[in-house]
Amino acid sequence: MASRKQARLFYVEGRVQGVGFRFFVEDEANRLGLCGYVRNLYDGRVEVYALGEEVSLERLRSRLEQGPPGSRVERVMEREAPQKSYRDFSIAASGEPIG
């Protein structure tokens, strides 16, 4: 039986801007076959929207909790999100949180 795709919205807090966090997330998400985006938020957090198989989303969360060298992740918040259509995973422009 095929797995159903799911969407998740993650908010990552800590020292996560100016340390290559978005590039790290983009690489990890592409490696896991996820679609969506990562972007800096004006309040200092990083927002990640990811669409894919549940096991891949769980692995992404684990990687978000670790972060790249130089980062310090204090908290990762996660919630289900509506499915949107993305062809790939990319870095998006900074902005306000969507949810």
Q: Kindly report which listed range (1-10, 24-33, 74-83) carries the lowest average pLDDT score.
A: 1-10
Give 44-74 pLDDT, tens digit per residue: 999 999 999 999 999 999 999 999 999 999 9
Rounded CA separation 68/6 (Å): 25
pLDDT of the residue at 1: 44
Domains and CATH numbers, the chain: 6-90 (3.30.70.100)
Strand-pairing partners, residue 91, are 38
Query: Among the options 40, 72, 75, 87, which is catalytic?
Result: 40
> Is 22 marked active-site?
yes
Residue 40 annotated among the catalytic residues of the structure: yes
Tokens representing residue 31 in the block: 């490696």
Whether pLDDT at 25 is above 80 = yes
Find the catalytic residue in 8, 22, 39, 45: 22
pTM of the model: 0.94
